[in-house]
Amino acid sequence: MGKKGDLSNCERGMVVGARRAGLSISQSAQLLGFPRTTISRVYKEWCEKGKTSSMQQSCGQKCLVDARGQRRMGRLIQADRRATLTEITTRYNRGTQQSICEATTRTTLRRMGYNSRRPHRVPLISTTKRLQFAQAHQNWTVKDWKNVAWSDESQFMLRHLDGRVRIWLKQNENMDPSCLVTTVQAGGGGVMVWGMFSWHTLGHLVPIGHRLNATAYLSIVSDYVHPFMTTMYPSSDGYFQQDNAPCHKARIISNWFLEHDNEFTVLKWPPQSPDLNPIEHLSDVVERELRSLDVHPTNLHQLQDAILSIWANISKECFQHLVESMPRRIKAVQKAKGGQTQC
């Protein structure tokens, strides 16, 4: 199909020639590959004005920043992502004879695909330790990752202040009750839970009634982790994963694991690596299901019941797929040289 709008002079001559040769609009469109409306318009312009050339080719303001200038501006962006529009314009003008204004800089950046956005917040990570972990496990297969039991703590708030919610309202309806979102201090409270799972099955989800300390975590480890590991991995070939929270690294916890190191192994985990832990995605599943409930919990007891119910109904395909994604996650960390990934 040819161009629908601005035809070249040669193409316009072909249209006029076809029509003057007696071809109909449909026949000309089929022969030349242009829309019927274009054939009709071009021939009408020739009949009425004798026009056989396109004036649109010379329309529009000349671009002040050519391809070379765009490459230079791109290097300025790469060198300082946080530079303001004023700073970018000033730095660009230092090396050119023809200065540009901030509006031209903005237009050029948009043409290049750049937009000003708030940066994503990510935890401060140790790239060295993450890369070492990835390299140490780069040859692990899905079969190896099936021997790992994953764990983490998560908190779910009773109320959510979601800045992405938008409503339709008229100019004078700002304080209409139907246009308001109520808020409470600290989100109305929340429920913290500890959970674990492996490729084989979901483990317990344990509500934590207070801030998790070493003593409370020791009870969880002895009451839930130990029976899970000995049951799922009777051959003592299982690995237990936990992050580097202070209560996980307490002396009484380390001593307990040493006493049971003949039953399972504690996986040495790199700090600040939630993107590597598949249980983080199960927390996201619970969060999404909570938000999609037809009747939302109105107190902490109802919230806890809803969380436990959602956890118990997570499909086997869901959590098994997460474990099976571990080789891909490891490769992503290696590709990022230990940096943050989008897994």
Residues 271 and 151 in one domain: yes
Token couple for 331: 């490769």
Residues 99 and 247 in one domain: no
Is position 2 within any domain? no
Question: Whole-angstrom Cα distance, residue 302 to residue 8?
Answer: 70
Range of the domain at 38: 9-58
Q: How far is CA 66 from the centre of its chain?
A: 33
210: domain CATH number? Answer: 3.30.420.10
CB of 336 closer than 8 Å to CB of 122: no
Segment 176-192, tens digit of pLDDT:
666 666 555 545 688 99
- Scanning the chain, the segments in alpha helix (DSSP H) are 9-20, 25-32, 36-49, 67-79, 85-93, 102-111, 127-136, 142-145, 214-220, 226-232, 251-259, 279-291, 300-312, 316-324, 326-335
Region 247-270 average pLDDT: 96
Is position 156 within any domain? yes
Residues 225 and 323 in one domain: yes
Region 94-114 average pLDDT: 87
Residues 80 and 43 in one domain: no
- pLDDT of 200 above 90: yes
Is position 249 within any domain? yes
Segment 150-164, tens digit of pLDDT:
999 999 988 764 444
Residues 217 and 265 in one domain: yes
Is position 120 within any domain? no
Report which of residues 246 and 60 the model is more confident about: 246
Region 266-278 average pLDDT: 93
- pLDDT of 142 above 70: yes
Is position 182 within any domain? yes
- pLDDT of 21 above 60: yes
Instruction: Determine the pLDDT at residue 168.
Output: 58
Instruction: Determine the pLDDT at residue 203.
Output: 95
Question: Whole-angstrom Cα distance, residue 131 to residue 49?
Answer: 71
Is position 241 within any domain? yes
Residues 216 and 327 in one domain: yes
Residues 103 and 43 in one domain: no
- Binned at pLDDT 50, 70 and 90, residue 171 comes out as low
Question: Whole-angstrom Cα distance, residue 258 to residue 263?
Answer: 10
Residues 87 and 159 in one domain: no
CB of 311 closer than 8 Å to CB of 203: no
- pTM for the model stands at 0.62
- Among 45, 77, 111, which residue terminates a domain? 111
- pLDDT of 34 above 70: yes
If one counts the domains in the chain, the total is: 3
Is position 25 within any domain? yes
Question: Whole-angstrom Cα distance, residue 264 to residue 103?
Answer: 63
Instruction: Determine the pLDDT at residue 4.
Output: 46
Residues 16 and 82 in one domain: no
Residues 288 and 187 in one domain: yes
Residues 106 and 155 in one domain: no
- Binned at pLDDT 50, 70 and 90, residue 7 comes out as confident
Region 332-338 average pLDDT: 92
Region 332-339 average pLDDT: 91
Is position 310 within any domain? yes
Question: Whole-angstrom Cα distance, residue 113 to residue 93?
Answer: 21
Residues 275 and 201 in one domain: yes
